[in-house]
Amino acid sequence: MEGDRPLASEPEWLRALEAKQARARALLRSLGRVVVAFSGGVDSSLLLRLATEELGAEAIAALAVGPSLAERERQSAIAVAEQIGCKLELIETKEFENPRYLQNDAERCFWWRSALVEALRPLARERDAVLVYGAITDDLGDDRPGMRAAERGGMRAPLLEAGLGKDEVRELARRSGLPVWDKPALACLSSRVPRGDPIRPERLARIERAEDAVLALGFRVVRVRDHGDGDLARLELGTEELPRAVAAPLRGRLEAAVRAAGYRFVCIDLRGYRAAGSRESAAPERPGGPGGQG
């Protein structure tokens, strides 16, 4: 966990970490009643754990469900919420009714988060609660239209306000027994489609089938980038998993599994998975055009 650690001794780092967690807890207590925008990833899971411990039944989770959420992520999130012991509401967002979202430009995440805010507002009003979400300090350096939409919608980010970064969040999640403490970063299925290409539910379903098939072969970090609307699947895998992916006979099984999901051609990106906000975007690039977030 070197990313967040200063050049200081372990006890000093831990004291600083505990102080940040205490700030996050105090902020949640000051809010009194919250609705946590929950995805099942490590950031929102830690936020939900802290909110539940501080506020009890005055904290509930809301999971946005729709075509851009893989079923495996839905089930994982439900299991985490059950372990934490909080109430979970499944909320259907309406982003697929918004042509500005479906056109899939650089503001796609803005329109998704805007749809989430609108879907959660009635629940927050009913409970007289504050909407909170799991942004952290690592998010500040990236182009994050979704954060702009969250701020515009009045959402609070207790982990960010407490100064917590990803390595710190993972450590706190590990210490609290959350099974997702080392879960790879998440992104919605729409992030696999090149910017400017239309978002359609059937396209996302094909991506989900292909990713499920790759995960079933034992890979842990998987992105299936959809090029040509089904013509080509470009696989981004964890860099440490690449040697296994390109070696026979697994390479043939990998190709067959992805083709069975509905793709004509399959290629493995030898650069591996690259997170959104990295110097080389993780999102697929259109020929002659820029990449997107992923």
pLDDT, tens only, 238-266 = 999 999 999 988 999 999 999 999 999 99
For 235-294, give the DSSP string. Answer: EEE-GGGHHHHHSTTHHHHHHHHHHHTT-SEEEE-TT----TTSSS-SS---TTS-----
**283: in domain:** no
Residue 61: pLDDT over 70: yes
The average pLDDT across 35-39 equals 97
Q: How far apart are CA 112 and CA 109, in angstroms?
A: 5
Nearest to 171 by CA among 162, 182, 161: 182
Question: Same structural domain for residues 22 and 93?
Answer: yes
Residue 73: pLDDT over 60: yes
Split at pLDDT 50, 70, 90, the class of 285 is very low
Determine the pLDDT at residue 216.
Answer: 97
Question: Same structural domain for residues 45 and 151?
Answer: yes
**287: in domain:** no
Our CA angle for 206, 187, 168, nearest 5°, is: 150
Question: Same structural domain for residues 194 and 68?
Answer: no
List, in sequence order, every residue forming a beta bridge with 132; answer none if it has no partner.
36, 156
Question: Same structural domain for residues 134 and 242?
Answer: no
Question: Same structural domain for residues 167 and 235?
Answer: no
**247: in domain:** yes
Question: Same structural domain for residues 169 and 199?
Answer: no
Question: Same structural domain for residues 35 and 144?
Answer: yes
Tens of pLDDT, residues 1-10: 444 455 456 7
Determine the pLDDT at residue 279.
Answer: 34
Phi/psi-derived region of residue 66, left when phi > 0, alpha when psi is between -120 and 50, beta in every other case: left
Residue 57: pLDDT over 80: yes
Listed range (144-153, 185-194, 203-212) with the worst mean pLDDT: 144-153
Determine the pLDDT at residue 126.
Answer: 95
* Count of beta carbons in the 10 Å neighbourhood of residue 256: 11
Q: How far apart are CA 176 and CA 166, in angstroms?
A: 15
Residue 120: pLDDT over 70: yes
111 CB contacts (<8 Å, ≥6 apart)?
95, 98, 100, 101, 149
The average pLDDT across 207-235 equals 95
Determine the pLDDT at residue 8.
Answer: 52
Residue 294: pLDDT over 90: no
Question: Same structural domain for residues 125 and 81?
Answer: yes
Looking at 130, 149, 175, the residue that finishes a domain is 175
Token pair of 151 as six digits: 């701020």
The average pLDDT across 168-195 equals 94
Question: Same structural domain for residues 24 and 166?
Answer: yes
**255: in domain:** yes
Determine the pLDDT at residue 86.
Answer: 96
Question: Same structural domain for residues 171 and 193?
Answer: no
Strand order in the sheet with 130-132: 87-92, 59-65, 34-38, 130-132
Question: Same structural domain for residues 239 and 209?
Answer: yes
Listed range (2-11, 48-57, 82-91, 223-232) with the worst mean pLDDT: 2-11
The average pLDDT across 116-142 equals 92
**127: in domain:** yes
**286: in domain:** no
The average pLDDT across 263-274 equals 94
Over the chain, what is the mean pLDDT?
89
Rounded to two decimals, the pTM is: 0.87
Determine the pLDDT at residue 293.
Answer: 32
Domain count, the chain: 2
**214: in domain:** yes
Split at pLDDT 50, 70, 90, the class of 274 is confident
- Indicate the SS3 state at residue 125: helix
**4: in domain:** no
Phi/psi-derived region of residue 230, left when phi > 0, alpha when psi is between -120 and 50, beta in every other case: left
CATH number at residue 154: 3.40.50.620
The boundaries of the domain holding residue 26 are 10-175
Question: Same structural domain for residues 207 and 167?
Answer: no
Per the CB < 8 A criterion, the answer to whether 176 and 208 are in contact is no
CATH number at residue 212: 3.30.300
Determine the pLDDT at residue 281.
Answer: 38
The average pLDDT across 213-240 equals 95
* Count of beta carbons in the 10 Å neighbourhood of residue 264: 10
Strand order in the sheet with 232-237: 222-227, 232-237, 265-268
